[in-house]
A and B are shown apart, each in its own frame.
Chain A
Amino acid sequence: MERTKRTFIYPLFERFWHWSQAALIVVLGLTGFEIHGSYRLFGFGNAVSIHNTAAILLLILVAFTIFWHFTTGQWKQYVPTTKNLGAVIRYYAVGIFKHEPHPVRRTRYAKLNPLQKLVYLGFKLMIFPVLATTGLLYMFSNQLGVPISPVAFLHALGAFVLLSFFIVHLYIVLTTGRTPLTYLKPMITGWEELEEDESAAPTPAPEPSAD
Chain B
Amino acid sequence: MKSRNAPIFILIGIGCLLLGIGLLVGAQPAAAAAPAIVPSQGVAQGSTADHSQFEVLKGPFGTGPEVTAACLTCHTEAAQQIMRTTHWTWEQKVGEQLLGKNHVINNFCIALASNEPRCTSCHIGYGYKDATFDFTKETNVDCLVCHDTTGTYKKFPTGAGHPTYEAREFPVGSGKMWNPPDLALVAQNVGKTSRATCGACHFSGGGGDAVKHGDLDTSLTNPSRELDVHMGVDGLNFTCATCHTAVDHYIAGGRYVMQAKDTRGIDVPGRDDQSRASCESCHGLAPHTTDAKLNDHVERVACETCHIPAFARGDQPTKMWWDWSAAGRMNAEGKPFKVKNDEGYDIYDSQKGEFIWERNVVPEYVWFNGEIEYTVVGTQIDPTKRVVINALHGSAADDRSRIWPVKAFRARQPYDPKTNLLIVPNLFPNSPEDKEAYWRSFDWIAASRTGMETVNQPFSGEVAFVDSIMYWPQVHMVAPKEKALECEACHSPNGRLAALTDFYMPGRLQHEGLNTFGTLLVGIVLLGVFGHGTLRLISRKNGKKS
A167 at the interface (CB under 8 A from B): yes
Assess the B293–A48 pair: CB atoms within 8 A: yes
How many Cβ-Cβ contacts under 8 Å join chain A to chain B? 90
Q: For this complex, into which size category does the number of interface residues on chain A fall? A: 20 to 34
Assess the B491–A44 pair: CB atoms within 8 A: yes
In the complex, how many angstroms separate the beta carbon of A136 from the nearest chain B beta carbon? 15
With A43-B488, A44-B492 already in contact, the answer to whether A153 and B511 are too (CB < 8 A) is: yes
A203 at the interface (CB under 8 A from B): no
Assess the B518–A160 pair: CB atoms within 8 A: yes
Assess the A36–B504 pair: CB atoms within 8 A: no
Assess the B522–A164 pair: CB atoms within 8 A: yes
Assess the A44–B488 pair: CB atoms within 8 A: yes
In the complex, how many angstroms separate the beta carbon of B206 from the nearest chain A beta carbon? 37
- Segment at the interface with A among B341-349, B463-471, B536-544: B536-544
Assess the A98–B507 pair: CB atoms within 8 A: no
Assess the A149–B487 pair: CB atoms within 8 A: no
**Shortest Cβ distance from B507 into A: residue:** A37
Assess the B529–A171 pair: CB atoms within 8 A: yes
Of A38, A163, A171, the residue contacting B533 (CB under 8 A) is A171
A142 at the interface (CB under 8 A from B): yes
B533 neighbours in A (Cβ, 8 Å): 171, 175
Query: Please, how many angstroms separate the alpha-carbon atoms of A38 and B491 in the complex?
Result: 11
A92 neighbours in B (Cβ, 8 Å): 532
State which residues 136-168 of A face B: CB under 8 Å.
141-142, 147-149, 152-153, 156-157, 159-161, 163-164, 167-168
In the complex, how many angstroms separate the beta carbon of A130 from the nearest chain B beta carbon? 14
Assess the A38–B504 pair: CB atoms within 8 A: no
Assess the A37–B509 pair: CB atoms within 8 A: yes
B535 neighbours in A (Cβ, 8 Å): 97
Of A44, A142, A167, the residue contacting B525 (CB under 8 A) is A167
Assess the B525–A168 pair: CB atoms within 8 A: yes
**Shortest Cβ distance from A147 into B: residue:** B504
Tell me the A residues contacting B by CB distance below 8 Å: 34-38, 40, 43-45, 48, 92, 96-99, 141-142, 147-149, 152-153, 156-157, 159-161, 163-164, 167-168, 171, 175
Tell me the B residues contacting A by CB distance below 8 Å: 291, 293, 296, 299, 486-488, 491-493, 503-504, 506-511, 514, 517-518, 521-522, 525-526, 528-529, 532-533, 535-536, 539-540, 543
- 18 A-B pairs besides A167-B526, A171-B533 with CB distance below 8 A are A36-B507, A36-B509, A37-B491, A37-B493, A37-B506, A37-B507, A38-B509, A40-B492, A44-B491, A44-B507, A149-B504, A152-B511, A157-B514, A160-B522, A163-B522, A164-B525, A167-B522, A167-B529
